[in-house]
Structure 1
Amino acid sequence: MDVRAMVDALVAADKAPKEAQLNRLEGTTKTKVSALGQFRSALSSFETALKKLNSAPLYQQRSAASADESIVTVTAGSKAVAGNYDVKVFELAQGSKVSLAGVDSADTVIGSGTLTIQIGEDSFDVEIAEGADTLAGIRDAINAAGKDKGLNATIVSDPSGPGGSRLILSSSATGADNDIKVTATASGSGDLSLLEFPASASAPTGERAPRLLMAASDARLSIDGIMLSSASNTIDDAIDGVSLTLNAAQIADESGAVKPVSLTVAEDLETVKTSVTEFVDAYNKLVGTIGALTKVTPGTGGDDQPSTGALVGDASVRSFMNSVRSELSSQSDGELRILADLGITTERDGKLKLDTAKLDKVLESGTDKLSAFFTGENGLMVRLESRVKPYTQTGGLLDNRDKALQNTMSSVRDQQEALERRTASLESRLLAQFNAMDSLVGNLMGTSNYLTGVLESLPGVVKPSK
């Protein structure tokens, strides 16, 4: 007997019905999990678009442009008033830059002690230790202590000239009252006072004398003919809600005149328009996703069955879309009453269509109308968010559905494991039974053959003729 073939056939016959049932349930559940994931993704995009349009600051944003950004750049906040401004930049604000006294080389020992460096009202100490009191060591100590103060030290050398090597101190603190001052307190050998600025009595004269390379100064500019000065090249208080950044001083023409740079501040209509477009696109994506997930495609006849989307007949999806469509078609108070008033209409397939020309006309009359229509306690976006939130919030409808499906998947896996264990047990039992039967049959056949031989050997037994 072919024991293995018989056991495999019996095991397969026992396992097949339950296995097919579990495979069908697993496939259906996976399809629904995937479908709910697609629905959740489309809902998330739609909710993000709703939140943008439901933000009051969106309608208060201002755009700002400069006719020449190499001279001045401009940004505007929500408090800025729309208007045009003429700006002239005569001088940029600059920090102090000084050259300390020259010495023979960067390896020249100056002396230990303390350097006190003052930049305007701010000051800090630089400790110069013995063994690190060369010009190069002092440079490194100044850079370490001054990195958070906006002070930088470099060494400029003229080996073949009379100037020698000297420290150049540069400050990033702009404004007329931010000049660099250096005082020294010696604590060992050498003469640290050599590096004082303004120069000490012991400082060298001539080519190695300390020098002022650049005095700290204010920016000088005019806005619509009004002269202004600023300690910084970033000016936030000249025009309410507007920030100016001066990038370069202008050069006067042959007549000595400076051509003004035109600045324009206006309502940021493009950002509002983009947010409205994103809302329409997100809604259409949502409608398309739900349509695909609830679509029924008829069969071609015969045994070809109709194909259905994973969420066909899903009551929660149908209820959601009905509530959203109801909100989109309801009227609001104010100048804008329905979406069609701002160029958004519903097409035959349920998607929205945006008339950008009509929206532009509404925007040109000001963003206040759109703000009143979309935001506020009874705004359209608030009402739509209230329809979406029960589905997307933690512990909401989609979360609960997903958890239930995951529990089903877990149950299927448990049943599949139990089926495998039961099948293995059945296989072992059948193999044992059939092998025992096969062994018994073999023994019986052996006994039969033995008895036949014995009987044939008895005297008087008539043997069959061959």
Structure 2
Amino acid sequence: MAGITSTGIDVATIVTQLVAAEKATPQKAIDTQRSAVTTQLSAIGSLKSSLSALRDALAGLKSGAAFGARTATSSNTAVFTATAGSGAASGRYDIEVVNIAQAQKSASAAYASSSAVVGTGTLSVSVGGTTMDLTIGSNNNTLAGIRDAINRASDNPGVNATIVNGSDGARLVLTSRETGVEKAFSLSASGGDGGLDTLVSGFSSLTTASDALVRVDGFDVTSASNVVTTAIDGVTLNLASSRPGETLALDVGTDGAAMKTSLEAFVTAYNNFVTLNKQLTSFDATTNRKGALIGDSTLRSISSTLSRMVGGNEYGSGAEGALASLSQVGLQLQVDGKLKLDGAAFDRALQAGPERVSALFTGANGVGTLLTGKLDDYLRSDGVFATRTENLTQRNRQLDASQDRLDARMLTVEARLRTQYTALDSLLASFNSTSAFLTQQLESLNKSS
């Protein structure tokens, strides 16, 4: 568009300013509404994430997994350690590690070096019922060549080979990859120049393959591995050294620390929701700033429901001695609406009956079950958040349509104004031309006079 015309009218600037002035008010209305929708969408997303995190924190409490945690303590960790799963029964066990499992290790006679020629033929290595036959020829008949042939064999039944260089020479050392009698190996040689026979006959035992033998409350348990999982249901023993004749203690008990950690995770998730709720419904009289969901009935209902459920006292089975409220396990509602865990009170409840603490959360009428059910209602694909999000998204689409209509109307206004001001400019140019002509004629008449 051209700038200032010969008449002095800047048509482009005038039209731009008039269009902007006419568009300002409806554009502000659209922008204000879009900002509100965007803010609410963000707030709904944050609220949904907070409640999802709360549900996740409840998962272990609802399922009972958090209350199945067990500790396993050895009286001498240099001899054995232990871990216990949720199925382990609490109690004390007498443990005697008579023997630990070992892998067989054997060494050949000494050779001048790893490059010393041993011989050719077939070297057979057997582990259990599996045998591998290695063809040793002129290309791999050294000590190092035999080592590499064993280690690289795709059908190796479970033996590692290495070379140890001692003061008396190099020795081929073979070690079973697994402990236990069944993983012991044997060697044989056949054919060739007889050098492999000499190698095999020169092997001596460094460590004999053996099974572990552990005595639990007087009963013998054998294992090919030092990780014993069959001795006590739900308990894994990790044997470190043998102490025949010495009886040690293994204590299996409830893991109160792990349970407390699960409860603290729930407390944190609930308190995060409370904090977010206050932010979304806040009002600052000084700055006149409002929370994104201030006065929102949905959030008010959710907050009220969760607070009532957390502070309720009608949970559990209803049986005599059953726990009925979170306060009975040390979870107290504070004046600010947040939860606080009294560790000492929880410990007392756990000592009085861990099964009662578990039932408070896991039963059909337990806190975990009912609260998770309510959260599931809120978070399901057709729940309140999905509905609110869809409504706000639809409102955004309506604002897009309003913006398109406004932009189209402003294009029409701009074209009309440009036409009008261009015509005005032409008219003024005509007036100026006529004025100049008349002025010229008058000047000519004056000169003639």
The bucket for the TM-score relative to the shorter chain is 0.7 to 0.9
Of 284, 291, 299, the residue aligned with 1:317 is: 299
Give the 5 Å matches for 1:293-312. 293-297=280-284, 299-300=285-286, 306-312=288-294
Cα distance in structure 1, aligned partners of 2:198 and 2:237: 38
Match of 1:123 in 2: 131
Unaligned runs of 5+ in 1: 200-208, 251-256
Match of 1:34 in 2: 42
Cα distance in structure 2, aligned partners of 1:11 and 1:137: 90
Q: Deviations over 1:393-446 (max 9, x none)?
A: 234321232233234334434543554454355435533542342243123302
Of 5, 19, 26, the residue aligned with 1:18 is: 26
Q: Deviations over 1:224-266 (max 9, x none)?
A: 566654332111222332211012345xxxxxx9765432210
Number of aligned residues? 436
Whether 1:430 and 2:425 are equivalent positions in the alignment is no
Q: Deviations over 1:95-133 (max 9, x none)?
A: 111123554443345456543311234433445466344
Shift of 1:34: 1.6
Amino acid at match of 1:434: Y
Whether 1:287 and 2:274 are equivalent positions in the alignment is yes
CA distance change for structure 1 residues 272 and 148 in 2, over 3 Å: closer, same or farther? farther
Contact 1:98 1:180 in 2 (8 A): no
Whether 1:211 and 2:198 are equivalent positions in the alignment is no
CA distance change for structure 1 residues 309 and 171 in 2, over 3 Å: closer, same or farther? same
Unaligned runs of 5+ in 2: 1-8
Shift of 1:313: 2.5
Q: Deviations over 1:60-79 (max 9, x none)?
A: 33111223333311011233
Cα distance in structure 2, aligned partners of 1:36 and 1:10: 40
Moved more, 89-98 or 128-137: 128-137
Q: Deviations over 1:347-366 (max 9, x none)?
A: 33333333322221110022
Cα distance in structure 2, aligned partners of 1:64 and 1:10: 82
Cα distance in structure 2, aligned partners of 1:460 and 1:142: 128
Whether 1:272 and 2:259 are equivalent positions in the alignment is yes
Match of 1:233 in 2: 226
Cα distance in structure 2, aligned partners of 1:418 and 1:125: 85
Give the 5 Å matches for 1:54-453. 54-110=62-118, 114-128=122-136, 131-145=139-153, 149-157=157-165, 161=168, 164-186=169-191, 190-191=193-194, 193-194=196-197, 197=200, 199=201, 209-224=202-217, 229-250=222-243, 260-297=247-284, 299-300=285-286, 306-328=288-310, 329-332=312-315, 333-334=318-319, 335-416=322-403, 419-420=406-407, 422-424=409-411, 426-453=413-440
CA distance change for structure 1 residues 31 and 176 in 2, over 3 Å: closer, same or farther? same
Shift of 1:214: 1.6
Contact 1:135 1:167 in 2 (8 A): yes
Contact 1:320 1:387 in 2 (8 A): no
Taking structure 2 as the reference length, the TM-score comes to 0.86
Q: Secondary structure at the match of 1:153?
A: strand
Amino acid at match of 2:82: V
Q: Secondary structure at the match of 2:104?
A: strand
**How high is the sequence identity, in percent, across the aligned residues?**
36
Q: Secondary structure at the match of 1:115?
A: strand
CA distance change for structure 1 residues 269 and 241 in 2, over 3 Å: closer, same or farther? same
Q: Deviations over 1:137-185 (max 9, x none)?
A: 3222211237975421112345x74xx4332111132223432212234
Moved more, 85-94 or 238-247: 85-94
